[in-house]
Amino acid sequence: MMKENSLNSKPSTKVIHIIIGLNIGGAELMLYRLINNSLKSGQYNHEVITLTDLGIIGSRLRKLGVLVTCLNMKSSLQTPSVFFRLFRILYRNKKSIIQTWMYHADFLGGLAAFVSGNRKIVWNIRGSSIPQEGFSLTGFLVKVCTVLSFFIPKKIVCCSEVSKTSHIDLGYAKKKIIVITNGYDLHNYNYNYNTNTIKHNLGIRDNEIIIGIIGRLDPLKDYQNFMFAARELIKKHSNIKLIMIGKGVEYNNKDFMELIGCNFDLTNFLLLGEKRDVNQYLGIMDIYCMSSLSEGFPNTVCEAMAMKVPCVVTDAGDAKNIVSDTGITVPIKDYLALAGALKVMVSLGPEKRKLLGNSARNRIKEKYSICNILKEYESVYNEM
């Protein structure tokens, strides 16, 4: 296992986070923001155990001085040995709060903590779409965790209202479930980018209206819905440039090209693939779009709003509650409704869109500030 020196000054209360991996993702970024801001107050000392490897977020955590332990699990066949290593670590930390992130860690980390004698266990549930048909490891773990939820965790934190509802319906211990949404540090969403240079490098003209969407290629993101809506929009507004960012959203990806159809006209589109610094692209967008079938708490919508970009979203997960009256929400799987909402947003003009963008950032500041979210997590820790 890999370790790094902890912070010199250790508060009396330790929180050990267990997560399956530390590559970039919604849960991983939230974990980083939570720890980064908690360290500033000094009330808690955080450590992290990743069931797999270090990842980008793990490296960032170590730069903060956080102890990160990697169990380097590469196959489910290693589950017994990984469980035993977890048990040994947690047995030595019986007085610590154990917070697990997502189903695999909830099951493995929660069980290891419980067997080691720890009862200060917090599960963290991030998604709302649960496999219900056929066999999948995740679907199986959810069913097991449904039973274990009555015995192992003292609290179960869901990141969205829709996630809470779906897990209660599934049979999770209702009285233990609370909602703590994702939180954002607005200092990280600034405007230090040279937007003119970025537009020039992308070949975008000054008179073009930029609509963006961000997310990996996944059926739940319903990119076909977005593409069809965009095609309807372009019929009326030819000066539209559509930027698509995400793993697999690339010209040379056969799966993506098959999804949209070989005859789809991509003249108005820019397929940029996966990008690390998405804020610079959010900074040039006039409108942000989310076309998903299912979400928990959509990070990219909040990030767009934090960058003062008005949003058009489908009614997936908590998107409608997040956007509220700062944007437009339409039903899922309805590309004509999505196209209509985009047309309305385009027709508002730059000044009205700017006002909506300002309202969007203020909403993130008021409801989803990392400082407020941190207080909610620390309130849970204080109850342990």
In Å, what is the CA distance from 330 to each residue of 4, 60, 313, 324? 47, 37, 6, 12
Domain coverage including residue 307: 186-367
How many domains does the chain fold into? Answer: 2
DSSP category for residue 186: G
DSSP calls for 260-278: H-TT---TTEEEEE--S-T
Q: What pLDDT was estimated at residue 135?
A: 66
- 110 plus 211 within the same structural domain: no
Amino acid at 56: I
DSSP 208: P
Q: Quick one: what percent of the chain has pLDDT higher than 70?
A: 95
Q: Could you give the CA distance from residue 265 to residue 250 in angstroms, rounded to a whole number?
A: 14
Q: Is the dihedral of CA 24, 368, 39, 381 positive or negative?
A: negative
Exposure class string for 121-154: b at 16+ Cβ within 10 A, else e: bbbbbbbbbbeeeeeeeeeebbeebeebbeebbb
Q: Is the pLDDT of residue 4 over 90?
A: no
- Tell me, yes or no, whether 148 and 72 share the same domain: yes
Is residue 167 predicted with pLDDT exceeding 90? yes
Closest by CA position to 114, among listed 139, 144, 140, 83: 83
* Position 192 in a domain: yes
52, two tokens: 């797999």
The secondary structure of 141-161, three-state, reads HHHHHHHHCCCCCCEEEECCH
Smallest CA-to-CA distance from 238 within 343, 313, 351 is with 343
Q: Are residues 233 and 127 located together in one domain of the fold?
A: no
pLDDT of residue 132: 56
pLDDT given at position 193 = 80
Whether 269 and 341 map to the same domain: the answer is: yes
Q: Count Cβ atoms within 10 A of the Cβ of residue 364 and give its class: 0-12 exposed, 13-18 middle, 19 or more buried.
A: buried
Secondary structure (DSSP) of 80-119: HHHHHHHHHHHHTTTTSEEEEESHHHHHHHHHHHHHTT--
pLDDT value at residue 131 = 57
Q: Tell me what pLDDT residue 116 has.
A: 95
Based on the fold, state whether residues 295 and 195 are members of the same structural domain.
yes
Measured CA to CA, the distance from residue 149 to residue 172 in angstroms comes to 6
In the predicted model, is pLDDT for residue 271 greater than 70? yes
Residues 252 and 166 in one domain: no
The pLDDT-based confidence of 129 (bands split at 50, 70, 90) is low
Element (H, E) at 235: helix 223-236
Q: Clarify whether residues 227 and 293 are in a common domain.
A: yes
CB 287 within 8 A of CB 353: yes
Per-residue tokens: 239: 């000066």
Distance set, CA 118 to CA 37, 151, 359 (Å):
26, 12, 45
Do the beta carbons of residue 208 and residue 239 sit within 8 Å? yes
- Residue 240 inside a domain? The answer is yes
Burial label, 190 (beta-carbon count in 10 A; 0-12, 13-18, 19+): exposed
Lowest mean pLDDT among 4-8, 220-224, 266-270, 360-364: 4-8
130, pLDDT greater than 70: no
The answer to whether residues 292 and 147 belong to one domain is no
* pLDDT at position 11 over 70: no
- CATH number for 203: 3.40.50.2000
Edge to edge, the sheet with strand 155-158 lists 67-70, 44-50, 13-19, 97-101, 121-125, 155-158, 177-179
Contact by Cβ (8 Å): 261, 228: no
CA 353 to chain centre: 25
pLDDT digits (tens, 9 = 90+) for 49-106: 999 999 999 999 999 999 999 999 999 899 999 999 999 999 999 999 999 999 999 9
CA atoms 363, 366, 371, 376: torsion sign = negative
Tokens of 252: 């040379």
Asked if residue 2 belongs to a domain, the reply is: no
Q: Are 213 and 179 members of one domain?
A: no
d(C-alpha 176, C-alpha 197), whole Å? 50
Instruction: Tell whether 68 and 96 lie within a shared domain.
Output: yes
- The tens digit of pLDDT for each residue in 289-348 reads 999 999 989 999 999 999 999 999 999 999 999 999 999 999 999 999 999 999 999 999
pLDDT of residue 263: 77
| Residues 20 and 90 grouped into a single domain | yes
Is 153 within the bounds of a domain? yes
Pairing of strands 209-214, 287-290: parallel
